[in-house]
Structure formats: C-alpha cells, structure tokens
C-alpha cells in the first residue's frame, strides 16, 4: 500500500498530537525525583539508562497512534518495546523514541525530546516529528511537503562565519578527539563552537539551528552509535529542509536495518549542507 499525500497529512497530524501530549507529560515530570533504571544496550551510558518517564511517554504515544496503526495496518518499532520484526513485513512502521536524551533529562539540561517517524519497509522516512519539551518547540516534516518549525515553514538560516560542532558527550572520549578538534579549528579559522550535551534528536535540530554546523558519529564494531528511532525523524526533516543526513561513509542512512536496530555499522553524518559534509569528512579522514 502506498500512502497518499492526504493520508500522510493525516498521519502527520496524529504524530504531532502524540509527540506534543508526550512532551507535555515529560515537562510536568521534569522536576520530580525519578528512579533511574539500566537496560541491556550499547556501550555508552546514554544507551543503557531509562526512567519511568520514558515508559509513561511511550504509553501516551502508543495510545494516540493505535487508531492509525489499526486503520493503515502499520508496524511499530519503539525504544522501550521489544522489536517484533513486523517492520520487515508491513509497508510502513512507526519509529518512536518516547524520550530521546534521557541523560540530559535526568540532569535537567536542554537536549531531550520526543521523536516520532513513519518509515517505509525500504527504510525511507516519510514523516518526522521532534518535540522539545524544554521550550515547547515542534519540528516536523512530511516527505515532499517541506519542513516546519512550530507549524510555520522552516528554512536553514544564512550561514554564520563560525562553525558549530554538535557531538555526543561520548565523543570527547574518542582517542583522536583533540586532533579532530584541532583540524576543525583550523578549518573554521578558529571560529569553532562546540555543543556537547544533548541526545541525538536535539543534536540534529541544533545543526539546523546553527548553520554552519555538523554532527557526526564514526562507524564502530561495538553495538551502539544510536538506534533507528534516534535518527528516523530527524532524517526526514533534514531531507525536506535540504540539509545533509547520511551515513559517515556517504551512503543513505539504513533506517530499517535487518540485523540490528543500532546504527554503529556505518555511523552518521548530519550537516547543514552537503558541501560542508564532504569538506569535514575529507578533513577528518586525511592524515
């Protein structure tokens, strides 16, 4: 079944409603003392912790999306629910991160969000919704219909003279971190800003909010590197706004990976422009 633009609009409205409702719950719960739990996951703390707010947010989202799942026979992939493999069988699946950026949420810093995407069986995102509970900012896009911020058409602003590197906090532990930062400082004529405290969804949005900007993760053998639900929504938004979102080795993002939900095998590269992505990739991989 191929969803029409009208049907995608309907599903986009469902996702916006679900993300907003979940985000408002997260905002209300943000000042509570929370029990922190650990789960089996990747090799970073960010992929291993969760709170009861993650679960409560997921319940709100699933309740809001259930009618659409039944109406259009959609599959489901959500961070806090076991992968049942239905995403390989049905034409489309909801891809959900009910609370992306659990660490900044626990620390009460900016950088957490609700992320919801509709992805087809081939791994192409058709809807992307990201809601930031901290300032109630809504980002969304529908394939072929452009990107929006707070329901208004959104375009990348004119590039600034400085370069912003958005990175995960684990990137600072990377053995070549200092070398990479030195290269980026030279590349930017010593006008380099670094943002290093958010989850994947807000990291991607900060790239769009701070042009020229880049966010990347290298391929690695260990499980981790973010998961499908971390990048599906932002990939749709990047595609529609005309920015660059791909694997670090310049291939399309694999948003319906068959052997895992992790993205470690190819890494990711998000940049405010394709040329910036190529420049940075060449700079970093050169000796």
Contact 148, 140 (CB under 8 A): yes
Say how many C-beta atoms besides its own lie within 10 A of residue 43's C-beta: 15
**107 marked as binding residue:** no
Give how far Cα 71 sits from Cα of 11, 58, 154, Å. Answer: 10, 20, 30
The Cα–Cα gap between 69 and 285 comes to 43
| Angle ∠(159,183,100) on CA atoms, nearest 5 | 65
Is 54 labelled a binding residue?
no
For residue 73, say whether it is annotated as part of any ligand binding site.
no
Q: Say whether 135 counts as a known binding-site residue.
A: no
Does residue 230 have a known ligand-binding role?
Answer: yes
Comparing CA positions, the residue from 112, 117, 153, 106 lying closest to residue 16 is 117
Residue in the structure block whose two tokens are 């809601």: 131
Give the C-alpha separation, 254 to 266, whole Å.
8
Please report the DSSP string for 188-200 in residue order: TTT-EEEE-S--H
The tokens describing 104, both together, are: 């900044």
214-224 exposure pattern, b = at least 16 Cβ within 10 A, e = fewer: bbbbbebeebb
Least Cα distance to 206 among 240, 246, 234, 174 occurs for: 234
Block residue for tokens 């069988």: 89
Q: For the sheet containing 125-132, what is the strand order? A: 75-78, 92-100, 113-120, 125-132, 137-142, 147-149, 152-153
Beta carbons of 43 and 222 less than 8 angstroms apart = yes
- Is-contact 216 280, C-beta < 8 A? yes
Instruction: Give the annotated binding-site residues.
Output: 79, 97, 99-100, 230
Please enumerate, by residue number, every residue annotated as part of a binding site for Mg(2+).
79, 97, 99-100, 230
């Amino acid at each position: 079944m191929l969803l029409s633009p009208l049907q995608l609009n309907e599903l986009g409205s469902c996702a916006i409603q679900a993300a907003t409702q979940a985000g408002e719950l997260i905002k209300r719960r943000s000042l509570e003392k929370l029990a922190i739990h650990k789960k089996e996951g990747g090799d970073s703390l960010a992929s291993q912790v969760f709170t009861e707010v993650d679960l409560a947010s997921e319940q709100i989202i699933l309740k809001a999306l259930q009618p659409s799942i039944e109406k259009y026979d959609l599959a489901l992939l959500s961070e806090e629910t076991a992968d049942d493999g239905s995403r390989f069988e049905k034409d489309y699946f909801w891809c959900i991160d009910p609370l992306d950026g659990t660490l900044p949420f626990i620390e009460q810093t900016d950088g957490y969000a609700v992320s919801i995407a509709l992805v087809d069986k081939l791994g192409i995102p058709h809807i992307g919704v990201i809601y930031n509970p901290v300032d109630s900012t809504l980002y969304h896009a529908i394939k072929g219909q452009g990107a929006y911020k707070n329901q208004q058409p959104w375009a990348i602003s004119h590039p600034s003279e400085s370069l912003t590197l958005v990175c995960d906090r684990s990137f600072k532990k990377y053995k070549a971190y200092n070398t990479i930062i030195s290269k980026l400082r030279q590349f930017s004529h010593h006008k380099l800003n670094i943002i290093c405290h958010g989850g994947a969804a807000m990291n991607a949005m900060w790239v769009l909010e701070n042009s020229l900007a880049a966010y990347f993760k290298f391929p690695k053998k260990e499980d981790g590197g973010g998961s499908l639900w971390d990048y599906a929504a932002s990939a749709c938004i990047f595609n529609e706004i005309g920015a660059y979102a791909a694997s670090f080795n310049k291939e399309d993002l694999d948003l319906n990976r068959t052997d895992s939900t992790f993205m470690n095998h190819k890494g990711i590269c998000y940049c405010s422009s394709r040329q910036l992505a190529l420049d940075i990739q060449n700079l970093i991989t050169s000796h």
